[in-house]
Amino acid sequence: MKKTLLTAFFFFTNSCLASNWALISSPDNPEITVSVDLQSVGKSGAYRKAWVMYSLDKSEQTPDFKPYNMSKILQYFDCKQRAFATVHAAYYLRTADRQALSAGEWANQGAKTFVDVVPDSLGEMTLDYVCGLHK
């Protein structure tokens, strides 16, 4: 009985922690895809927050010149002001058989720097998606 309860507990705990990525970008641009982790979407004061994943067709370089082709970014969204702030960025280099962390950056979470979204951009599409959830 104890084993069954323990197994159920670990299964439930692990399933709660799993990410749930929803593809939100258009297939019209195969060079980059954008996904939002639905498990991470939430409110933080007056803002919404979510982890956003950008998958690239070709490798780019991190600010410290390490190659990457996927990034996971924790963003805060000011839905009323139509702006966003990046709090954390993790850059990965994905190959056919593995995914390795290239670099990571943390911003000061107390001093979020919001920037306006560019009209008709991936940033605007992401803001609209996150702000439209759970209204």
Q: What is the per-residue pLDDT across 50-92, written as a single tens digit (0 to 9) for each?
A: 999 999 999 999 888 889 999 999 999 999 999 999 998 889 9
Domains: count for the chain:
1
pLDDT of residue 11: 41
Between β-strands 21-23 and 32-37, what pairing exists: parallel, antiparallel or unpaired?
Answer: antiparallel
CATH of the domain at 48: 2.40.128.710
Residue 72 domain flag: yes
Whole-angstrom distance between the N-terminal and C-terminal Cα of the chain?
42
> Does 8 fall in a domain?
no
Residue 5 pLDDT:
38
Instruction: Give domain status of residue 63, yes or no.
Output: yes
Task: With respect to residue 110, please indicate whether it lies within any of the assigned structural domains.
Answer: yes
Q: Is residue 79 part of a domain?
A: yes
Task: Check residues 62 and 103 and name the one with the higher pLDDT.
Answer: 62
Rama region for 56: left / alpha / beta (φ>0; ψ in -120 to 50; rest) = beta
Structural domain for 79, as ranges: 20-132
pLDDT digits (tens, 9 = 90+) for 17-55: 688 999 998 767 778 999 999 999 999 999 999 999 999
Amino acid at position 89, single letter = A
- Cβ–Cβ contacts within 10 Å for residue 53, how many? 20
74 assigned to some structural domain: yes
- Predicted confidence at residue 101, as pLDDT, reads 77
